[in-house]
Structure 1
Amino acid sequence: MTDSSSASRGHGLRRDIDLLEALASDEAQNAGGLGVVRLAQLVGREKTQVSRALKALAAEGIVERDPDTLEYRLGWRLFSLVARTSESRLVRVAEPVMHTLSADLEETSHLCVLSDREVLTLLSVSGHSFRVHGWEGRGVPAWRLSAGRVLLADATPDELYVRFGTTGEMPVQDLWTLIQDARRQGYARVSEEFEEGLVGVSAPVRDFRGRVVAAINISAPKARLGERLDEAGRTTARAAARVSSLLGWEPRRTPLLRARLT
């Protein structure tokens, strides 16, 4: 391969990336897609060139075209590739941040994800001799944990009813209130709600789309952490924001939840 052909291919890849970034923009996400004319304006290229590039990307599943509006959006294959690597990347990115957090607070931190109605712990990092036993891989009802309340931050009221409305454990109205409190504060806190003598705080980790994909949790005996629970919450929120940033999240892209519980 000659230097000129390599440069040409590299330039073509750069132009394709420009198109993908335009389709990932706030404008495209809010509109549900963009047409060829608008994309050509955004990337500064001829409409015919953009049309050819989009057709090639669509043939590979990297973008998709709405048959009704004829507008383009990011495609299934791109999201499939992201999904396959997201969990391992999440753990890899979060672990060093959690080590720092656990050392700063001298408490155990946990990386948690949502699985249906339960919270699962992917990783625990100890910053103290005290360990919350047996958490990794163990599922706990989401409504009982601070982690569950931040992991449900993007849920609509209807989704909460579908997921928890028949459990009878906690009225959905009460759960909604707790979730909104956590959203406003930037972290959730519990004090002996899950286990006597145990307190905890959790903050959300967001991916590049602004969606909550995990929670970082700090749990400890009330005798040791109870009086500094809000301080721990703020510190945990900063750590979670750091992980979110490493995953590509920009605060301005965080979606606003507009649904209301009636």
Structure 2
Amino acid sequence: MSLSGPASPSGSPPDPAARHQGHGLRRDIALLEALASPEAQNAGGLGVVRLAQLVGREKSQVSRALKALAEEGIVERDPDTLEYRLGWRLFSLVARTSENRLVRMAEPVMHAVSADLEETSHLCVLRDREVLTLLSVSGHSFRVHGWEGRGVPAWHTSAGRVLLTDATPDELYVRFAVGGDLPVPVQELWARIQEARRDGYARVSEEFEAGLVGVSAPIRDFRGRVVAAINISAPKNRLGDRLDTAGRATAAAAAKVSALLGWEPRRTPLPTARLT
């Protein structure tokens, strides 16, 4: 009897590298399970120390694993609390089967606003410098898959501007200007974001694509943080004269989803940060 473990189906000994990779995958899954636990969901995230306790691993090992997962978008690190939560890349995969909570809450509301405006609506989130579409529905009670899973530059779109509502000028600079590929000054992007914040929705006209206009409004979680946006986009000759009407309808729809996620509306002061 061999003491080295069972042989592979071909009769050869198991590959040590494959066994190590499988072990590493199981440990990463354990971290994801911990981040999906009621404790993590209620707290809005967990720190490295607590995660290490939950999975029974060294803090340094957990920290390295989380860093690698964050680089791939599988988890996210909150810039304020430094705690980790499940990332939107993971949610975007789940969203295609309509399993995650945000999509479940947003989809019926999106159907209603799309039917009201007779235009397609999109559920969007921020991913690095891009806006990622998780879900699209038309005004005719069916899903539209052309935009799902696609990312577009955040600074070009109304969705990007509302998704950046919580960002400070310094964060905008680090996110966009450091790479040198931001086509507009940070000051101009900041001004447009603040305009959207005051109005409750953002609007663009032919900035992303010639002949295309759109409006977007923010969805907030129970903490009041912007976690997603509802967007309405359409040809200018069809929606251009109704942008403000569409903006108000989209803002009302986003507020309904926010309420379903536990957000209680209250007056939010404009940020006092100044561009330097």
Confirm or deny: 8 A CA contact 2:136 2:145 kept in the other structure.
no
Pair 1:80–1:194, CA change in 2 (3 A): closer
1:106 matched to 2:118? yes
TM-score, length-normalised on structure 2?
0.63
Q: What residue in structure 2 maps to residue 159 of structure 1?
A: 171
Larger relative contact order, structure 1 or 2 (CA cutoff 8 Å, min sep 6): 1
| C-alpha distance in 2 between matches for 1:133 and 1:100 | 18
Pair 1:80–1:255, CA change in 2 (3 A): farther
* Pairs aligned (count): 194
Q: Summarize the alignment of residues 164-203 of structure 1 with structure 2, pairs less than 5 Å apart.
A: 164-165=176-177, 166-203=180-217
Which of 224, 230, 242 in structure 2 is aligned with 1:210? Answer: 224
Q: What residue in structure 1 maps to residue 242 of structure 2?
A: 228
Q: What residue in structure 1 maps to residue 272 of structure 2?
A: 258
| C-alpha distance in 2 between matches for 1:173 and 1:235 | 29
Per-residue CA distance 1:124-173 (angstroms, 9 max, x = gap): 001159x9883111110000000000000000011000011122411111
| C-alpha distance in 1 between matches for 2:212 and 2:252 | 22
Q: Summarize the alignment of residues 13-28 of structure 1 with structure 2, pairs less than 5 Å apart.
A: none
| C-alpha distance in 2 between matches for 1:75 and 1:146 | 28
Residue identity opposite 2:207 in structure 1 = E
Unaligned runs of 5+ in 2: 1-41, 45-52, 56-80
Determine helix, strand or coil for the equivalent of 1:252. Answer: coil
Determine helix, strand or coil for the equivalent of 1:140. Answer: strand
Determine helix, strand or coil for the equivalent of 1:258. Answer: coil
Deviation at 1:252, TM superposition (A): 2.6
| C-alpha distance in 1 between matches for 2:249 and 2:209 | 23
TM-score, length-normalised on structure 1?
0.66
Confirm or deny: 8 A CA contact 1:157 1:259 kept in the other structure.
yes
Q: Summarize the alignment of residues 68-107 of structure 1 with structure 2, pairs less than 5 Å apart.
A: 80=85, 88-107=100-119
| C-alpha distance in 2 between matches for 1:237 and 1:247 | 15
Deviation at 1:256, TM superposition (A): 5.1
Pair 1:91–1:178, CA change in 2 (3 A): same
| C-alpha distance in 2 between matches for 1:132 and 1:173 | 35
- Runs of 4 or more above 2 Å deviation: 79-87, 131-134, 252-258
Higher helix share: 1
Pair 1:205–1:228, CA change in 2 (3 A): same
| C-alpha distance in 1 between matches for 2:225 and 2:182 | 28
Identity among equivalent positions (%) equals 76
Per-residue CA distance 1:41-67 (angstroms, 9 max, x = gap): xxxxxxxxxxxxxxxxxx879xxxxxx
CA RMSD of aligned residues (A): 3.2
Unaligned runs of 5+ in 1: 1-20, 25-58, 62-73
Segment drifting more, 119-128 vs 238-247: 119-128
| C-alpha distance in 2 between matches for 1:123 and 1:183 | 23
| C-alpha distance in 1 between matches for 2:268 and 2:122 | 23
Confirm or deny: 8 A CA contact 1:209 1:254 kept in the other structure.
no
Determine helix, strand or coil for the equivalent of 2:266. Answer: helix
Deviation at 1:254, TM superposition (A): 4.9
